[in-house]
Amino acid sequence: MRIGIVCPYSFDVPGGVQNHVMDLAEALIGLGHTVSVLAPADEDSPLPAYVVSAGRAVPLPYNGSVARIAFGPVSTTRVRRWITRGDFDVLHVHEPLTLSLSMLAVLSARGPVVATFHTAMTRSRVLAAAQGALQIVLERITARIAVSALARKVQVEHLDGGAVEIPNGVAVAKFAGVEPLPGWPGECGPGTGGTLGFLGRFTEPRKGFPILRDAFVELARQRPGLRLLVAGPGDRNDLFDRFPTDLRDRVTFLGLVSEEEKARMLRSVHLYVAPNTGGESFGMILTEALAAGTTVVASDLDAFRRVLDGGRAGRMFPTGDAVTLRRTLTELLDDPAQRAELTACGDQVVANFDWPVVARRVMEVYAAAIEATDGRVIDQEWVGLT
């Protein structure tokens, strides 16, 4: 099968949707299909062979963060050229309701279109206000996928349609077999030592880093040798300014990391902590930590609870509660048997998220979309939004 996949967000900046698109493409290629991915990226950016650059992206505030997207007449031309050259059996777009390549691809498509929705917006005012303008986009989508129950709820309640729920996948083998970083995770005994991990934008409120920081500062006063390993975008000095001077030598900042370095980072901690406060529709980093064999501690967001099988595959604490987080961390650091039990449950849970398993479910949606269109060609004339 010839498959075209469109990523709305720039490949110059790491992100959950970008990683999802790359892993799906590689899983489909591994299953014997021909795949081409179109995404924003600088012309000189190093890209996988299956990725085609649609040009430089511009920043756009979106869902409590900043997305880098491409949109406009030049992007439209590039999208149409790529679709024509690809002669795809099916077109798979991600987040088609953002002003992005995905929206342009839907409007330019002439065959079956599958759309994956990653975001779970809890407020519908924006969607309601834009319903008329978005209707033409929605009408051209043949089949919908939602990565979580919350994302699917948006489809049902606000976009007049359902969606097949297929979770984000994780390349389990990439995380399970890597070596920890040199010198990590170090010793961890009753009342002393231990390493905590955090990956994400520590300046972004919804990632909840201040909650982890507060728990770490209190715990480090009681626990000699406790360390914190942080990875993600941001300024090193900005990070260290958030900690008391006498504890800064126990904080290590890796900055932006590659996928391989991320796997090693997750293998280098005793506990991976996800203190997020909201805006999460799935919890990709949780599945990656589980795949790495790391015990997970996460806030009790509904999306995280679903990934962790209600808390069977990881410990959960009340969102925003640094005191309960500290107690939970203490308990787990002092109890290797409990960590091992959670890790074993995590191995069972994450097997359902392994990309070969997820990709086969996506292929079933492709087949249904192709059958639904029955080879019909859609009239490509439309009123441009560019």
Closest CA to 75 of 55, 92, 47: 55
User: Residue 381 domain-assigned?
Assistant: no
- With respect to residue 380, please indicate whether it lies within any of the assigned structural domains: no
Interval 48-105: pLDDT, tens: 999 999 988 776 655 555 566 677 788 889 999 999 999 999 999 999 988 889 999 9
Statement to judge: residues 348 and 305 lie in one domain: yes
Please tell me whether residue 154 adopts helix, strand or coil conformation. helix
Tell me: do 87 and 199 sit in the same domain: no
Reply yes or no on whether the pLDDT at 177 is more than 90. Answer: no
Question: Would you say 106 and 94 are in contact if contact means Cβ atoms under 8 Å apart?
Answer: no
Inter-residue contact 208 to 275 (CB < 8 Å) = yes
Same domain, 124 and 264: no
| 118 and 159 belong to one structural domain | yes
* 130 lies in the same domain as 140: yes
92 is a domain residue: yes
Model confidence pTM above 0.85? no
Model confidence at 382, pLDDT cuts 50, 70, 90, reads very low
Task: Give percent of the chain above pLDDT 90.
Answer: 71
Q: Are residues 48 and 155 in the same domain?
A: yes
On whether both 180 and 270 belong to a single domain, the answer is yes
CA-based diameter of the chain, in Å? 68
**CA–centroid distance for 28 within its chain:** 18
Does the structure show a pLDDT above 90 at 210? yes
Do residues 158 and 292 both lie within one domain?
A: no
Domain match, 87 and 227 both: no
Q: Are 157 and 256 contained in the same domain?
A: no
Asked, for residue 385, whether it belongs to a domain, the answer is no
206 and 222 share one domain: yes
Whichever domain contains 278, its CATH number is 3.40.50.2000
The answer to whether residues 228 and 341 belong to one domain is: yes
**Does a structural domain hold residue 287?**
yes
DSSP H or E stretch at residue 255: none
Give the span between the Cα atoms of 322 and 324, in whole angstroms.
6
Number of domains the chain is built from:
2
The candidate with the shortest Cα–Cα distance to 359, out of 19, 11, 23, is 23
Question: 361: domain range?
Answer: 2-169+354-373
Q: Are strands 90-94 and 65-69 parallel, antiparallel or unpaired?
A: unpaired
Classify residue 378: in a domain, yes or no. no
- Residue 383 covered by a domain: no
